[in-house]
Amino acid sequence: MEEVAESSTDFLDFLGPDTSATVFTMLHDPADLARASAVSRSWRTFVIANQFSKMQCLRVCPEVSTFARVEVRSSSGGKDHDVAGPSARAEDERLSRDHMVYMHLAHGLLAPYSGARNCITRCIGASSTDNFPEETIENTLEPIDRVEMRPSYWSSGGQRDPAVPEWLIYRLQADLCLVDEVKVQPFKAFFQYGDPIYSAKCIRFKMGYPTSPLEPETLVCDENEGQLIDDSNYVWTYTSPEFPMLQENVLQSFKLPHPVLCIGGVVKVELLGRVQKQAMDGLYYICVSHVQIVGKPVSQELEVAPHGKGVVMNYYPDPRRCSVARSDSSGDDGRSKWHGFASRFWHSGRARGIGGLNQGLLSRLFGAPLQFGGEDDVSDEEGELL
């Protein structure tokens, strides 16, 4: 019996807390940390108490230190029950909650992904626009500088001083995106004599979160130039170095010094200095035909919200609730597009005699209650797509 007792000695007790902590910090993969915390109750307690999951996140992205706290949200949007007061039990519950959320974040940050993608989902606004809406910032989402034989680009207002800056602000696909590169293509005015290229002299990027929710009616659209272009509407958690920009009509790549966690899903592209004067009026302009913010969304289950002078990271374990929240935050247009696609899919299955396609199944697939009462749900145009 004594040999059995000796063989079952916990190495945490044998090494002591300091040496054990050094060993655990060597675990760089969240899966290894999860396996270690599942060995025994004492190992799990040690992992949670020392916040090794948060350390993993900070090692990859120092911007994680921006979070004032984390919360676990229920499917209804409210906080999960917390134990009140400064008791030891309340502290244990807080540490356990933090461990769960940071483990989820670490998995999203460190999980391998094949091929980065453009993370822009909406245009928030531009510092100025020369001719709106013909030269709106929304044109920069087009990958080409001509659409139906018409030029597609954003143009700033003209300035006599070439040092006056401009900026473009974009909304990303998720509140947390890992960004490692930004690509910008200056516009060549092929319809002007000499084909001048209206690039900026330098470029810089800021990332952060809005101080209040971004309502759809405040973002740029055909009838609205965008109302949230001032810095007072945002808290910037990262500012890149300045990069020189070439006066060339090519998609120029600006690689960040390291992958940056964009906390809040807002990116500001600062265009610093003007190099091209328009012959017609003698004013300096900056024109951009295309912008890409390259990286990956970390998780749709993680969202952020301003709180006092900091920001809170909210975790929604139920992905269906988060899907509905994301659809709501992007306006009715986003929900109607998903509903229209699901509706076409359902009616297509009925028309082709495919069994098993029901509204309940599609509601679970698309993350929101869907109802298709009759043929009115599919427009003539949608019917042609089938």
Residue by residue, DSSP assigns 94-123 as HHHHHHHHHHHHHHHHHS--SS-EE-EEEE
> Cβ(290)–Cβ(143) under 8 Å?
yes
Q: List helix spans (H) across 216-373.
A: 319-329, 332-351, 359-366
332 compared with 134, residue with greater pLDDT: 134
Task: Give me the pLDDT at residue 341, please.
Answer: 46
Q: Taking the CA atoms of the chain, what radius of gyration do you get in angstroms? A: 26
Percent above pLDDT 70 for the chain? 77
Average pLDDT over residues 77-97: 71
pLDDT at 37: 85
DSSP-derived pairing of the beta strands 287-297 and 176-186: antiparallel
pLDDT-derived band at 2 (thresholds 50, 70, 90) equals very low
Comparing 191 with 330, the larger pLDDT belongs to 191
Lowest mean pLDDT across 192-206, 224-238, 251-265: 224-238
Q: What is the mean pLDDT of the chain?
A: 81
> Residue 3 — pLDDT band, cuts 50, 70, 90?
very low
Cis peptide before 133 (omega within 30 of 0): yes
Residue 384 has pLDDT above 50, yes or no: no
- Give the pLDDT band of residue 329 (cuts 50, 70, 90): very low
Q: How confident is the model at residue 320 (pLDDT cuts 50, 70, 90)?
A: low
Tell me the per-residue pLDDT of 181-210, one tens digit each, with 9 for 90 and over.
Answer: 999 999 999 999 999 999 999 999 999 999
Task: Give the single-character DSSP code of 243.
Answer: E
214 Cβ contact partners less than 8 Å away, ≥ 6 residues apart: 124, 171, 228, 266, 329
For residue 115, is pLDDT > 50? yes
| Average pLDDT value for residue range 71-79 | 72
Span 266-275, pLDDT tens digits? 999 999 999 9
For residues 357 and 349, the answer to whether their CB atoms sit within 8 Å is yes
> Quick check: helix, strand or coil at residue 62?
helix
Question: What's the average model confidence in pLDDT over 104-131?
Answer: 90
CA distance 362 to 66: 38
Q: Residue 327's pLDDT band (boundaries 50, 70, 90)?
A: very low
Quickly count: other Cβ atoms within 10 Å of residue 212's Cβ: 11
Residue pair 124/224 in contact by the 8 Å Cβ criterion: no
Pairing of strands 200-210, 243-244: antiparallel
> What are the angstrom distances between the C-alpha of 231 and each of 112, 148, 158, 164, 309?
34, 35, 21, 16, 15
Give me the pLDDT at residue 319, please: 60
pLDDT top residue among 182 and 220: 182
Highest mean pLDDT among 45-54, 287-296, 318-327, 330-339: 287-296
Helix (H) / strand (E) containing 185: strand 176-186
Sign of CA dihedral 239, 299, 364, 99: negative
Confidence of residue 75 (pLDDT cuts 50, 70, 90): low
Average pLDDT over residues 360-386: 42
User: According to the model, what pLDDT value does residue 5 have?
Assistant: 42
pLDDT at 321 (0 to 100)? 54
**DSSP character at residue 300:** T
pLDDT tens digits, 61-74: 999 999 999 999 87
Lowest average pLDDT, out of 10-24, 43-57, 111-125, 287-301, goes to: 10-24
Give the DSSP H or E segment for 234.
strand 234-239
Kindly tell me if the per-residue pLDDT of 14 is higher than 80.
no
Nearest to 322 by CA among 342, 300, 344: 300
Task: Name the CA dihedral angle for 153, 159, 165, 168, rounded to a multiple of 10 degrees.
Answer: -30
Distance of CA 228 to the CA centre of its chain: 18
3-class secondary structure, 226: coil
CB 90 within 8 A of CB 82: yes
Higher pLDDT, 357 or 21: 21
Which of 26 and 261 is assigned the larger pLDDT? 261
Q: Residue 80: pLDDT band by 50, 70, 90 thresholds?
A: low
* Residue in 316, 312, 300, 305 with CA at minimum distance from that of residue 73: 316
Mean pLDDT calculated for residue range 165-181? 96
